[in-house]
Structure 1
Amino acid sequence: MTNSVIFFGTSDFSASVLQGLIDDPAFQVLAVVSQPDRPVGRKRTLAVTQTKKIAIANNLAVFQPEKLSGSKEMADLIAMQADFLVTAAFGQFVPTKLLKSATVAAINVHASLLPKYRGAAPINWALINGDKKTGVSIMYMVREMDAGDIVSVREIPIATSDNAASLFEKLAIVGRDLLLETMPKMLTGDFLTAKQDTSRITLAPKIDNQLSKLDFYHKSAAQIVDLVRGLSPKPGASLRINQEQIKVFTAETGSLIGQTGQISILSKHDFAITAADGIAVLLQQVQPAGKKRMSVSAFLNGSNKSLRVGDRVDRV
């Protein structure tokens, strides 16, 4: 017997979970709901969401309401009377009336160890805050953001080499596998739930432009590197020096050297700026404004000859 599913999701993380459901013969995906396609880039080209691409490739119905509440799409989805509603990085609240239409359960696949990092950017914030572990939580959906009772959890370590992209890929697989292990247990009743400890709630809000600015005057070298990891490759951390904006995609901590906020190491292959704790941050991959991403060697040898040891980065 197959169980019917309506899937709600938009991102690459969502796409991995959706593909797992499609490939599992125990489930039948009735429809895919994603955010509307949005224009991206300088040319504002309309970008099809990752889940929509998968839905089209598998001849699945696609719904993309700007807002679910009160929409015709919501009425159509309720009429399907799916066994499961599954969300994973959808980007909208699912109205209670729709949640109640699931005949078995409405559940969410969230990329954090709840109640830590409720919100839109849990993977980024785990890296930004220098966490050593993270994971995936599957919970019941309720009207409040990421607040439902937890059904299952899986934890993984965060490697020192991880950035947002690599951690997204790892957790997408973890989320897919955990979901496909959890849903059959929900059908048989072979599971326990746990309420979230509200005293331990932390939030993971969307990444804004101000956060992406590297603050060498108030942050330690480790904090600078963690921010770079958490924002790589998108949207990318940035600094401004000698009237030039530079995005930074990879960096590492160096030695105790130089003055806070100043270039402390500059050679043919090395470019370091000293953070607030006196430790240098060695930049490795950068992107000057209007140019492609490149190694620091390429940047120093071909893009900028005006930098000098002692030059100061702009204050945030």
Structure 2
Amino acid sequence: MRIVFMGTPAFAVPPLDALARAGHEIAAVVAQPDRPAGRGQALREPATKAWAREHGVPVLQPVKVRDGSLARELAQLRPDLLAVAAYGRILGRDLLELAPHGALNVHGSLLPKYRGAAPIQWAIAEGEAETGVSIMQMDEGLDTGDVLLQRVLPIGPDDTSETLAPRLAALGGEALVAALALLAAGELVPVRQDGTRATLARILEKEDGRVDWTVRARRIRDRLRAFTPWPGATTTLEGRSVKLLEVVEDPAAAAAAPDAPGAAAVVPGRGVAVRCGEGTALLVTRLQPEGKPPQAAVDFANGLRRRTFTFGT
């Protein structure tokens, strides 16, 4: 098929590459504009733009996508299909209906669960044991279109958003290629989503990373994994921020931690035991105090010169 691909970050590259390797013609790549990034705030190009440049594919980076100009430009390319993966913009009807086969989206969850911008993070944060990808026929709603194909992927107990995303992206590429083969054979069966089972995976905010020591230890650990690398899991000590980097659920932590949520005690040679909600506890093994490099929690506690202290809630 002749395809216009719309996607921006690294998550979109495996589906784009899979289409090309499967023999589909990529007529153009549409990505968001270059954005400032890093300490120097130098402009950084999207990952899909870098792929397109390496493969000699034209790139479009429109500032606006709902004023009709992008649809007019893409119509001249006469694509059979728009393939979308993490483009980051809501498409209007002019784009959704531009190609004979419409627009297919690679979404990083098992719809209707986790509709929205951060499905990978929220699946981990909510303690899911598995997630997956959905190939969806796009409509004007937020991930509400008919599901064409799904693939399931387990979430490992130590997975973070950073480790899970590349696996989901690769699976998304495989699923997209499989869906297009079924589409060409007339064998795709659209399945309407049950909106009553839908959950929202909203955009992450910095405040999501604040640790609430009154909830169970497992939930705190799940959120730390989900929000790695951003916004992380952050608490406070004596008015200064402390970022948790590694925590484990350990029986020794439950025995050593004081009773109040956030109260901590040093476990010699192991880390810092912190009391969480409902009698649970976590052993913090690595952390990063504000303005300092990452360090072992034991070293951090030794620097405080006391065995017990209390993190903020």
- Common fold by TM > 0.5: yes
> Secondary structure of 2:180's match?
helix
Contact 2:301 2:307 in 1 (8 A): no
Contact 1:254 1:279 in 2 (8 A): no
> Secondary structure of 1:271's match?
strand
- Does structure 1 residue 273 correspond to structure 2 residue 284? no
Q: Percent same amino acid at aligned positions?
A: 32
- AA in 2 matched with 1:265: V
Give, in angstroms, the shift of residue 144 of structure 1.
Answer: 0.5
Equivalent of residue 53 in structure 1, options 46, 50, 53? 50
Equivalent of residue 245 in structure 1, options 228, 237, 241? 241
Contact 1:233 1:249 in 2 (8 A): no
Contact 2:29 2:57 in 1 (8 A): yes
Give, in angstroms, the shift of residue 69 of structure 1.
Answer: 0.9
- Does structure 1 residue 12 correspond to structure 2 residue 13? no
Q: Which residue of 1 aligns with 2:180?
A: 183
- Does structure 1 residue 109 correspond to structure 2 residue 109? no
Equivalent of residue 162 in structure 2, options 160, 165, 170? 165
Equivalent of residue 308 in structure 2, options 306, 310, 316? 310
Residues 225 and 63 of structure 1: is their aligned pair in 2 closer, same or farther, counting only changes over 3 Å? Answer: same
State the alpha-carbon separation in 2 of the partners of residues 238 and 94 from structure 1: 35
State the alpha-carbon separation in 1 of the partners of residues 208 and 153 from structure 2: 26
Q: Per-residue CA shift, 1:74-127, capped at 9, x if unaligned?
A: 321122121110111111011111111112231000010100000000000000
State the alpha-carbon separation in 2 of the partners of residues 30 and 117 from structure 1: 31
Equivalent of residue 73 in structure 1, options 67, 70, 90? 70
State the alpha-carbon separation in 2 of the partners of residues 173 and 291 from structure 1: 36
Residues 41 and 308 of structure 1: is their aligned pair in 2 closer, same or farther, counting only changes over 3 Å? Answer: farther
Give, in angstroms, the shift of residue 287 of structure 1.
Answer: 2.6
Alignment of structure 1 residues 127-138 onto 2, 5 Å = 127-138=124-135
Q: Which residue of 1 aligns with 2:217?
A: 221
Residues 294 and 78 of structure 1: is their aligned pair in 2 closer, same or farther, counting only changes over 3 Å? Answer: farther
TM-score by length of 1: 0.92
Q: Per-residue CA shift, 1:129-160, capped at 9, x if unaligned?
A: 00111111111011101000010011121111
Equivalent of residue 197 in structure 1, options 194, 197, 212? 194
Residues 71 and 293 of structure 1: is their aligned pair in 2 closer, same or farther, counting only changes over 3 Å? Answer: farther
- Does structure 1 residue 283 correspond to structure 2 residue 284? yes
CA RMSD between the two structures: 1.8
Equivalent of residue 122 in structure 1, options 119, 122, 138? 119
Gaps of 5+ in 1: none
Residues 33 and 115 of structure 1: is their aligned pair in 2 closer, same or farther, counting only changes over 3 Å? Answer: same
Residues 91 and 212 of structure 1: is their aligned pair in 2 closer, same or farther, counting only changes over 3 Å? Answer: same
